Chain A
Amino acid sequence: MTVRGCRDFAHLVGAFADGQLEAGRQLDVEAHVEGCGGCQERVKLEFATRASLKRAVRESASDAVRARVTAAMRAQTDRSAGQVVAQKKSAAWRTVVPLASAAAFALAWSAMSRGPLARTTATSSLHAGFGDDLLAELVAEHGRPSPPECTNPKNVGQLEQFVGVPVRAATLQGQHAKLVGGCVLPVRRERAAMLRYELSSGGETRRVSIIVFDPRRIQVSDSELEARPVGTAQVRVGRSNGYSVAVTQRAGVGYALASDMDMGKTAELALATEE
């Protein structure tokens, strides 16, 4: 068999291995391959490539992804049925708008902060979840992050002057946590700090959003959450829009977390928010 013959068939070998050639063609290629050691190897290499690709690409969706997608689909079903869950929330959020344009805030963060309109849009896009403003905002922000105002972990402490409690970039149990960014988040007539992290482990990246707030000024109505003891501490956990949520308080500072991970993991992280 000449090299010329192989060249004639080379572009068909893949389709032949796929069994996708039209019958006559399939037989032609088969006849050539049977008598040609080189092309037999070529067919085997095609199969080998395929098998390796299957291994490399097949990865099952995590429980968190499954939960999130299921929740979004349920919300769509509810919406189609005219049951717009978030409707009652939008009124409450309008009261926040004047605050966001307060002069000092605008001066400090004007370069990158979002306008009040954008915030209203983000909130109305929330389709299932908590009646509580802080948690609703947390979940909405986690789902559609706004641009960060500061990305350097060292500068995160400056958010304290707006929030009234210490704000630190946490190492989150040292799990290769990377601070993506932080910003001031208006909540009702108060402000909180919003910090976003990415945790990587085993090649996977998981997002965690944390609101740091002053519990004397912002109360979380956590009736929709369940208590979960982690060690000696109490964390309240729940689930909204496919994300898991955890709320805790330590040393007079409130922490609310939303993450793509499961509730147990989120509860653990809630206790690792300090340093």
Chain B
Amino acid sequence: MPQLDSNSAKDSDAFMDEALTHLDALHGVACRMTRNPTEAEDLVQDTLVKALRARDQYHAGTNLKAWLFRILTNTFINKFRRGGLEKSVFDGPDADPLADGWVSASTMRQLRDPEQVALLPIIEGEVRRALDALPPEFRLAVILSDVEEFSYEEIADIMGCPMGTVMSRLHRGRKILQRTLYDHALSMGIVKAEALVAAEPPADLAQFRAKKRGAA
């Protein structure tokens, strides 16, 4: 039986300690990607065990966090989305009132809290639900950028797609998110309805997908 080499054990311990400093981030993202606490735990555990096994491929001094998220993303795709993340985002012009400025500045102001610069009237659960409703490729891009603050270049590397795709996924993802939250604010009476220009965008995911399929 091979003896446990004390140097490699020390390396492994150091790697483990450093990798575990990113546990909270990995776990938070895994929870939002799987939308299931048990699956999220499995995903995080698989990711970190894989990372440990492949730690020779990691170059010390480079971005460990981005490397771990790449493993997490690949593990997620292999486990939950056999077909991979969807390559294209839906075509057509930005028929979105928030994106195109059909909603007035004052409505946009009402959507957020001027003191805290957050969406004050909208509770955290609602933000989480809106996020969960996003297609996974948008959701992942938005979380990696807005929560984990990766650069577009890092996100492209983690998701294995070109930078242009990252920008596009982020833009669409955030718009759908803001639209969902706007609709929620509307139904709560937090903002007043404005006359929207014709050519309504699909508001929910099913319609969005149907439209996308139809276009393909």
A: which residues have CB within 8 A of B? Answer: 3, 6-7, 10-11, 14-15, 18, 20, 37-42, 44-61, 65-66, 68-70, 72-74, 76-77, 80-83, 204-205, 207, 260
Residues of B with C-beta under 8 A to A82:
1-2, 4
Question: What are 18 sample pairs from A and B whose C-beta atoms fall under 8 A apart?
Answer: A14-B170, A38-B105, A45-B178, A49-B181, A51-B116, A51-B118, A52-B118, A53-B147, A54-B146, A59-B31, A60-B28, A61-B24, A65-B44, A66-B20, A69-B23, A73-B20, A81-B5, A205-B37
* B108 beta carbon closer than 8 Å to chain A: yes
Cα separation A211 to B109 with both chains bound (whole Å): 56
How many residues on chain B are close to A (CB under 8 Å)?
Answer: 65
Query: What is the minimal beta-carbon distance from A93 to any residue of chain B, in angstroms?
Result: 22
Query: What is the minimal beta-carbon distance from A43 to any residue of chain B, in angstroms?
Result: 10
Could you tell me if A80 and B12 are in contact, using CB atoms closer than 8 angstroms? yes
Looking at A42, A45, A52, which has the most chain B CB atoms within 10 Å of its CB?
A: A52
* B142 beta carbon closer than 8 Å to chain A: yes
Q: Which 5 A-B pairs have the closest CB atoms?
A: A48-B112, A61-B27, A51-B118, A56-B127, A81-B4
Could you tell me if A56 and B124 are in contact, using CB atoms closer than 8 angstroms? yes
Cα separation A68 to B41 with both chains bound (whole Å): 9
Could you tell me if B146 and A41 are in contact, using CB atoms closer than 8 angstroms? no
Query: What is the minimal beta-carbon distance from A60 to any residue of chain B, in angstroms?
Result: 4
Could you tell me if A53 and B100 are in contact, using CB atoms closer than 8 angstroms? no
Cα separation A76 to B46 with both chains bound (whole Å): 11
* B111 beta carbon closer than 8 Å to chain A: yes
Could you tell me if A69 and B108 are in contact, using CB atoms closer than 8 angstroms? no
Cα separation A51 to B146 with both chains bound (whole Å): 8
Residues of A with C-beta under 8 A to B64:
none
* B98 beta carbon closer than 8 Å to chain A: yes
Residues of B with C-beta under 8 A to A72:
45, 48-49
Could you tell me if A69 and B45 are in contact, using CB atoms closer than 8 angstroms? yes
* B207 beta carbon closer than 8 Å to chain A: no
* B174 beta carbon closer than 8 Å to chain A: yes
Residues of A with C-beta under 8 A to B41:
65, 68-69, 260
A-facing residues in B84-116 (Cβ within 8 Å): 94, 98-101, 104-105, 108-109, 111-113, 116
Q: Which of B94, B125, B128, B147 contacts A10 (CB 8 A)?
A: B94
Query: What is the minimal beta-carbon distance from B18 to any residue of chain A, in angstroms?
Result: 12
Cα separation A133 to B117 with both chains bound (whole Å): 56
Query: What is the minimal beta-carbon distance from B69 to any residue of chain A, in angstroms?
Result: 14
* B143 beta carbon closer than 8 Å to chain A: yes
Residues of A with C-beta under 8 A to B98:
42, 45
| Nearest B-chain residue to A83, judged by Cβ | B4
Could you tell me if B45 and A68 are in contact, using CB atoms closer than 8 angstroms? yes
| Nearest B-chain residue to A200, judged by Cβ | B37
Residues of A with C-beta under 8 A to B8:
81
Residues of B with C-beta under 8 A to A70:
16, 20
